[in-house]
């Protein structure tokens, strides 16, 4: 009865551990987990050791990627919950709601200022001059509001820096 000899060079557990830069026990753990096949008692083929170590590390990378994806998903859910809580407690409002309120306030200011010249004087020449001044102010305010809305929509908080400039 002949025993079949493994193909390729065989090495011991200690040699495999030295080759992989790990302990004997770690290599034995890979054998027990099924990553490395035994050639004979206490001997392993060099190819089996290398393939087993690669398979182990690939499995570890896959597990880490799955754990990282799960962590990112959990963080996204947590962020979503935080935003809903802030919205319910009125610390945070929807952009559409903010724009609607600002639009209503702008319309009130415009309506008040539009009638100012007529309430101030009956002199038509003075009224036209005053209306031009008011229209200029309203146009500057509208331009500033457009810039502020664009900055807020883009998530920039540089409104104060623009005012100072």
pLDDT tens for 68-85 read 888 888 899 998 998 888
Rounded to whole angstroms, the Cα distance separating 91 from 76 reads 20
> Percentage of the chain with pLDDT > 90?
25
Number of H helices, E strands in the chain: 7, 2
Domain ranges of the chain: 10-80, 93-164
- pLDDT on residue 7: 64
Binning pLDDT at 50, 70 and 90, where does residue 160 land? low
H-helix or E-strand spanning residue 85: helix 46-88
User: Is residue 145 within 8 Å of residue 103, measured between CB atoms?
Assistant: no
Question: Closest Cα partner for 120 from 110, 130, 112?
Answer: 130
- pLDDT on residue 78: 92
List phi, psi (to 5°) of 136: -60, -45
Angle at 138 between CA 158 and CA 117, to 5 degrees: 155
User: Is residue 44 within 8 Å of residue 13, measured between CB atoms?
Assistant: yes
């Amino acid at each position: 009865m002949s025993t079949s000899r493994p193909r390729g060079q065989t090495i011991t557990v200690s040699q495999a551990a030295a080759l992989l830069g790990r302990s004997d026990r770690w290599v034995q753990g890979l054998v027990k987990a099924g990553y490395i096949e035994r050639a004979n008692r206490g001997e392993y083929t060099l190819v089996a050791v290398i393939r087993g170590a690669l398979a182990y590390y690939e499995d570890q990378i896959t597990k880490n990627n799955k754990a990282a994806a799960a962590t990112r998903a959990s963080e996204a859910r947590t962020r979503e919950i935080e935003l809903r809580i802030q919205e319910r407690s009125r610390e945070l409002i929807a952009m559409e709601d903010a724009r609607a309120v600002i639009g209503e306030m702008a319309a009130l200011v415009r309506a008040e200022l539009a009638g100012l010249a007529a309430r101030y004087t009956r002199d038509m020449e003075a009224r036209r001059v005053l209306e031009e001044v008011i229209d200029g102010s309203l146009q500057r305010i509208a331009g500033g509001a457009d810039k502020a809305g664009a900055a807020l929509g883009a998530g920039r908080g540089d409104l104060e820096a623009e005012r100072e400039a």
